[in-house]
Amino acid sequence: MESVQAIKQRFGIIGNNAGLNRAIEKATQVAPTDISVLVTGESGVGKESIPKIIHSLSHRKHGKYIAVNCGAIPEGTIDSELFGHEKGAFTGATQTRNGYFEVADNGTIFLDEVGELPLTTQVRLLRVLENGEFIKVGSSKVQKTNVRIVAATNVNMFEAIKKGRFREDLYYRLSTIEILLPPLRARKDDIHLLFRKFASDFAMKYKMPSIRLNDEATAMLTKYRWNGNIRQLRNVAEQISVLEENRSITPDMLRQYLPNTSGNLPAVIESEKSESDFSSEREILYKVLFDMKSDLNDLKKLTMELMQNGVSQKVKEDNESLIQKIYGDEEEDEIFHEEETTAPVKLLSIPSEVTVVAETDKYHFAEEVEEEETLSLHDKELELIKKALERNKGKRKAAAKELGISERTLYRKIKQFDL
């Protein structure tokens, strides 16, 4: 068995952190077996190195090694990618296709971001892990495969299981051996070593002198939190190598490439919406709907009382809050509002006599029309609107002004009465 140091040199792994060394030791120990392995750790810590180590040290090293990014494949095609499909299985399936599990027979498949797999695909994957069987999309024939599965995820699997996004039985099948890679902030002694390696690589790539950090800049680099881990460190080294003319890097120069540099920053914990949050939102929505229903029932009672008894001061006082809730601050829309000063005829307050002025070519004359007191509130309102529209030749704005109401209220009444 190769030593940890030899494995690091072979795969270009830099660092002497105890957690990193332990992860490499577990990978070398489990490699000769066919046990499924789950590699965990934050995004950017280099999880893809572990399955390569396992495959190269296993008896499958001469077989195929296929790395699949489960989060990058659309949900509608991932079953076809992994297990293959028959011709005509779906629109666009013009020929039979072999999936990764068939192609990698006697080899190793690395399922990166396995926590992003759809639940239907998780069921198929569980069957492969249990007995090595799978069925192509659009086929009824059971096929066998002999593959070693190494998976990786940066998702909190127990949270995913709790929320129903990942099958618990599949998790225990995948994580027979779990290998955890530590975040870069836990490997402070390795940060400067990695930076120097990246700086040297980019100097060779872009054919320019390598950048160097002074002592203060090195201290700043080490104290920084590196939420993006090794991937973020590599990107920073590349940016500085390309953009800075002065190859000696000071803290002020380095600070421009490190967002939110304020020493040892606290962890950023994203608050996730729990199921109880959605339950609370539903309860609030139901309460609003019930309140609306209650207001509507009160409005019906108010309307019936007004139609039977006419508008009275007592009714207005008893229902002031309801009227305000319905019509808001627009006083001109309040059908039951009475002006403090003497005003023209209101919508629900009409006299027993209505004077109609008809205009001829040369003469004007007035005709008194007596309305019967037995008309209902609805009929009075309807007739007054009709006459106002007739007198103003259908001009709604002028009719609304004459009635002492807003145009919007008049439009609503026209629609209500189907005029």
The answer to whether residues 59 and 92 belong to one domain is yes
Q: Which of 208, 224, 255 is the last residue of a domain?
A: 255
Considering the domain boundaries, does residue 261 fall inside one? Answer: no
Within 10 angstroms of residue 23's Cβ, the number of other Cβ atoms is: 25
Please, what is the end-to-end C-alpha distance for the chain in angstroms? 93
**Each residue of 15-60: pLDDT tens digit?**
999 999 999 999 999 999 999 999 999 999 999 999 999 999 999 9
Residue 314 pLDDT level (bands cut at 50, 70, 90): low
Per-chain mean pLDDT for the chain: 82
The answer to whether residues 106 and 128 belong to one domain is yes
Of 213, 205, 210, 148, the residue nearest 177 (C-alpha)? 148
Q: Is the pLDDT at 395 greater than 70, yes or no?
A: yes
Considering the domain boundaries, does residue 83 fall inside one? Answer: yes
pTM for this predicted structure: 0.62
Lowest-confidence segment of 144-158, 174-188, 271-285 by average pLDDT: 271-285
Distance between CA atoms of residues 191 and 189, nearest Å: 6
The answer to whether residues 251 and 295 belong to one domain is no
The parent domain of residue 374 ranges over 339-419
Distance between CA atoms of residues 107 and 145, nearest Å: 10
Stretch 351-374: mean pLDDT: 43
Q: Is the pLDDT at 131 greater than 90, yes or no?
A: yes
**The pLDDT value given to residue 406:** 83
Q: Is the pLDDT at 274 greater than 60, yes or no?
A: no
Considering the domain boundaries, does residue 334 fall inside one? Answer: no
**The pLDDT value given to residue 109:** 97
Q: Is the pLDDT at 297 greater than 90, yes or no?
A: no
More confident call, 393 vs 150: 150
The answer to whether residues 155 and 32 belong to one domain is yes
The answer to whether residues 67 and 83 belong to one domain is yes
Residue 269 pLDDT level (bands cut at 50, 70, 90): very low
The answer to whether residues 164 and 54 belong to one domain is yes
**The pLDDT value given to residue 310:** 60
**The pLDDT value given to residue 396:** 82
Stretch 171-191: mean pLDDT: 95
The answer to whether residues 134 and 250 belong to one domain is no
Alpha helix positions (H), 310-334: 313-318, 320-327
**The pLDDT value given to residue 323:** 60
Instruction: Identify residue 7 by its one-letter amino acid code.
Output: I
Distance between CA atoms of residues 229 and 322, nearest Å: 59
Considering the domain boundaries, does residue 263 fall inside one? Answer: no
Considering the domain boundaries, does residue 143 fall inside one? Answer: yes
Cβ neighbours of residue 229 under 8 Å, at least 6 residues apart?
42, 43, 44, 45, 46, 183, 184
Considering the domain boundaries, does residue 269 fall inside one? Answer: no
More confident call, 98 vs 398: 98
**The pLDDT value given to residue 313:** 62
Q: Residue 394's domain is classified under what CATH number?
A: 1.10.10
**The pLDDT value given to residue 343:** 40
Considering the domain boundaries, does residue 82 fall inside one? Answer: yes
The answer to whether residues 247 and 120 belong to one domain is no
The answer to whether residues 193 and 168 belong to one domain is no
The answer to whether residues 83 and 126 belong to one domain is yes
Considering the domain boundaries, does residue 144 fall inside one? Answer: yes
**The pLDDT value given to residue 350:** 42
Q: Which of 182, 210, 232 is the last residue of a domain?
A: 182
Q: Residue 51's domain is classified under what CATH number?
A: 3.40.50.300
Q: Residue 195's domain is classified under what CATH number?
A: 1.10.8.60
Stretch 151-176: mean pLDDT: 95
Distance between CA atoms of residues 61 and 282, nearest Å: 55
The answer to whether residues 313 and 367 belong to one domain is no
Residue 321 pLDDT level (bands cut at 50, 70, 90): low
Q: Which of 182, 197, 226 is the last residue of a domain?
A: 182
**Each residue of 209-263: pLDDT tens digit?**
999 999 999 999 999 999 999 999 999 999 999 999 999 999 999 999 998 744 4
The answer to whether residues 214 and 349 belong to one domain is no
Q: CA distances (Å), 374 to each of 65, 126, 146, 286, in order? A: 93, 80, 93, 43
In the chain, the number of structural domains is: 4
Residue 319 pLDDT level (bands cut at 50, 70, 90): low
